[in-house]
Amino acid sequence: MMLHTASCGQCRDQVEQERPEGPSADPVAPALGTYPPLPSANAMIQPMPRLSVPAALALGSAALGAAFATGLFLGRWHPPWQSRREKRLLPPEDSPLWQYLLSRSLREHPALRSLRLLTLEQPQGDSMMTCEQAQLLANLARLIKAKKALDLGTFTGYSALALALALPPTGHVVTCEVNPGPPELGRPLWRQAEEEHKIDLRLKPALDTLDELLDAGEAGTFDMAVVDADKENCTAYYERCLRLLRPGGVLAVLSVLWRGKVLQPKPGDLETECVRNLNERILRDARVHISLLPLGDGLTLAFKI
């Protein structure tokens, strides 16, 4: 296809030459009147005013000042991404696509589902293991044919029940909690699922239970360990659980993104520093193969070599 590349002035001259003089033969033209003369190209171009150097500097300074003030104002009301800390990497839970994903993947025992909903109604219930995390860990337990599992941070026993459901009839879960109240909320549902006999609740600090197991000669006898307890002791939990796991065992650490605080911990934030230190330790630990997944608040899987 050929394109007409004449300049605007050439096109205008051609129009002027082709326009008939006098009354137009076009029947619409008399109603519109005669065409007014087109202004020349020089008349359409207005020269830009020139500024002296001091005036240009003043104008540039004013523009920069306005931009700075605008940025300061917007930054106050709309802080940068560091202030609007990302709390999770996955879509929000009410996302239609996320709901579709769960509806096509989640197979939740009725008692486990009831316990999850009950837990969410409790104070701090939203810090519990998510349903997709629970199912993944249960499937890993089945995959490695786990019989013995550790669960640090019982709360209502949602994670303990998820593991118990994945273990054979002779399997058992040692679960650690310091507050006796929440586990009693979940116990009726452990019983409803017919898994209560597999759940060994230890109401004492988790480090005490882990040391007792090590002293009893149970190092290297557990197949799986889940750490979802206080963050100040997370490194100690990791080391003791690793000793209790057999080669090929799985160690799962939850909340390793710590609601996004790991990116920029505030001075004096001991919990966040402990989480960051553990993440660095696991990254460099030659005793395990690892994966850090964006499920929930972050889930690290360490497979003991």
pLDDT in tens, the chain (305 residues): 444 444 444 444 443 444 444 444 444 444 444 445 555 545 444 555 555 545 554 555 555 555 444 444 444 444 444 445 567 788 888 999 999 999 999 999 999 999 999 999 999 998 899 999 999 999 999 999 999 999 999 999 999 999 999 999 999 999 999 999 999 999 999 999 999 999 999 999 999 999 999 999 999 999 999 999 999 999 999 999 999 999 999 999 999 999 999 999 999 999 999 999 999 999 999 999 999 999 999 999 999 99
The two structure tokens encoding residue 83: 């202030």
Read off the amino acid at residue 296.
G
CA 46 to chain CA mean position, Å:
55
| Tally of CB atoms within 10 A around 88 | 16
Which residue has 């149970």 as its token pair?
218
Q: Do 300 and 290 contact (CB within 8 A), yes or no?
A: yes
Compute CA distances 219 → 119, 177, 222, whole Å.
32, 21, 8
Per DSSP bridges, beta strands 199-203 and 172-177 are: parallel
How large is the C-alpha radius of gyration of the chain?
Answer: 35
The two structure tokens encoding residue 33: 């009147």
- The H or E element that residue 267 is part of is none
| Residue 253 CB burial class (10 angstroms; 0-12, 13-18, ≥19) | buried
